């Protein structure tokens, strides 16, 4: 019953109605264009393959974008998992911008709202928004992946969710410079391709692979945390939401797919806390800390971690068999 209907977005404080123009712009840049780019990439690989220069440029731009989102936008700006020196702060905020997922403060505002209401009405992108049945989940996964960019009638208000970021002049300036960062995100791979091959063809080719295709892949890899890592995979900790751990998502997102612990302890600088959970972003933060560039890093407390694991096992034992 009601499985085709999404739960209503509460008109709570902290959200505002979003204009048609903005929704259309999101539809084009966040939903349609990446799908077209991915389709074009498949056709291009089929026809001509992809050269070594393009592969290297793609890989570098991918790594910068994913670390920019994971370490910069997410762990540093949204959750304040560590503090760092200004040049590194600026570099990580810029790297996050290069992923083309919006200005830092807007990204952080939507994400803080996600944590507050995770998998309940008010969560901007829960895969459970349409209900529990299989068709509802399929629709919910699409909603969590990209659908919400267009269908959401309300957006997070920055003044409400990220006043700390708005008070930071570096974040404000980077927000204002976002259109230039978008240009840079395409100009950098194009320039690298042109210089590497000393040809116009090499420039266009790198613009396609390192710019357009990379942005599409980075987007869908990031959004899979919102969809897949709230639906499938294991849960080692009790949280009020349905966050999970998914190994392939964690590998592609450099650690963000260990999403269950992240919802248990959102400010933790490490997401992969259990044995065998490789977390490249935590490794990078550790490197910054060793170099003296990052400080006040919130590493998980082993005693607290152990307690939360035991709590979860106890709940599992108490649950009647046959029920999740
Ligand atoms: Zn989440
Ligand atoms: Zn988070």
The pLDDT of residue 4? 63
Query: From start to end of the chain, where are the E strands?
Result: 15-17, 83-84, 154-156, 294-295
Evaluate if residue 163 carries a pLDDT over 90. yes
Q: CA dihedral in degrees (298, 303, 304, 307; nearest 10)?
A: 160
Q: What is the mean pLDDT of the chain?
A: 93
**DSSP class of residue 74?**
I
* Å from CA of 231 to ligand 1 middle: 10
Indicate which ligand has the atom closest to the C-alpha of 260: 1
Whether the CB-CB separation of 144 and 227 falls below 8 Å is answered with: yes
Q: Where are the domains of the chain?
A: 15-234+293-301
* Å from CA of 167 to ligand 1 middle: 26
Indicate which ligand has the atom closest to the C-alpha of 111: 2
Evaluate if residue 185 carries a pLDDT over 90. yes
Structure tokens at 274: 């259990």
d(CA 36, CA 219): 13
The pLDDT of residue 308? 87
* Å from CA of 230 to ligand 1 middle: 6
Please name the residues in contact with 103: beta carbons below 8 A apart, sequence gap of 6 or more.
97, 174, 175, 178
Cα–Cα distances (Å) from 9 to 25, 124, 158, 171, 251, in that order, read 21, 8, 17, 29, 32
* 53-106 confidence digits (pLDDT tens): 999 999 999 999 999 999 999 999 999 999 999 999 999 999 999 999 999 999
Task: With H, G, I as helix, E, B as strand and everything else as coil, classify residue 135.
Answer: helix
Evaluate if residue 16 carries a pLDDT over 50. yes
Indicate which ligand has the atom closest to the C-alpha of 112: 2
Whether the CB-CB separation of 288 and 315 falls below 8 Å is answered with: no
**Average pLDDT score over residue span 269-274:** 96
To the nearest 10 degrees (0 to 180), the angle between helices 86-98 and 178-197 is 80
Please give the model's pTM, rounded to 2 decimal places.
0.93
Predicted confidence band at 320 (pLDDT cuts at 50, 70, 90)? very low
Phi-psi region of 157 (alpha: psi -120 to 50; beta: other; left: phi over 0): beta
């Amino acid at each position: 019953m009601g499985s085709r209907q999404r739960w209503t977005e509460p008109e709570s404080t902290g959200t505002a109605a979003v204009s048609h123009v903005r929704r259309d712009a999101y539809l084009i840049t966040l939903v349609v264009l990446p799908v077209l780019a991915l389709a074009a990439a498949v056709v291009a690989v089929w026809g001509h393959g992809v050269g070594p220069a393009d592969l290297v440029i793609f890989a570098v731009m991918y790594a910068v974008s994913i670390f920019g989102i994971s370490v910069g936008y997410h762990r540093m700006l949204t959750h304040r998992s560590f503090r760092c020196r200004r040049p590194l702060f600026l570099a990580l905020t810029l790297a996050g911008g290069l992923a083309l997922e919006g200005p830092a403060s807007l990204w952080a505002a939507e994400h803080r709202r996600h944590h507050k209401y995770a998998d309940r009405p008010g969560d901007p992108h829960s895969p459970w928004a349409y209900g529990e049945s299989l068709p509802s989940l399929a629709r919910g996964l699409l909603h969590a992946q990209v659908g919400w960019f267009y269908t959401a009638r309300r957006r997070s208000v920055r003044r409400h969710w990220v006043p700390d970021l708005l008070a930071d002049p570096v974040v404000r300036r980077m927000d204002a410079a976002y259109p230039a960062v978008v240009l840079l995100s395409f100009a950098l791979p194009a320039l690298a391709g042109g210089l590497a091959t000393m040809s116009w063809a090499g420039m266009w080719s790198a613009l396609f692979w390192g710019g357009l295709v990379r942005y599409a892949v980075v987007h869908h890899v990031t959004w899979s945390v919102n969809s897949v890592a709230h639906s499938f995979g294991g849960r080692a900790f009790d949280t009020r939401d349905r966050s999970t751990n998914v190994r392939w998502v964690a590998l592609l997102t450099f650690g963000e797919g260990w999403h269950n612990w992240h919802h248990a302890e959102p400010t933790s600088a490490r997401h992969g806390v259990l044995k065998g959970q490789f977390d490249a972003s935590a490794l990078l933060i550790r490197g910054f800390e060793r170099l003296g560039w990052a400080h006040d890093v919130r590493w998980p407390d082993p005693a607290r971690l152990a307690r939360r694991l035991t709590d979860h096992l106890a709940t599992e034992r108490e649950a009647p068999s046959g029920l999740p």
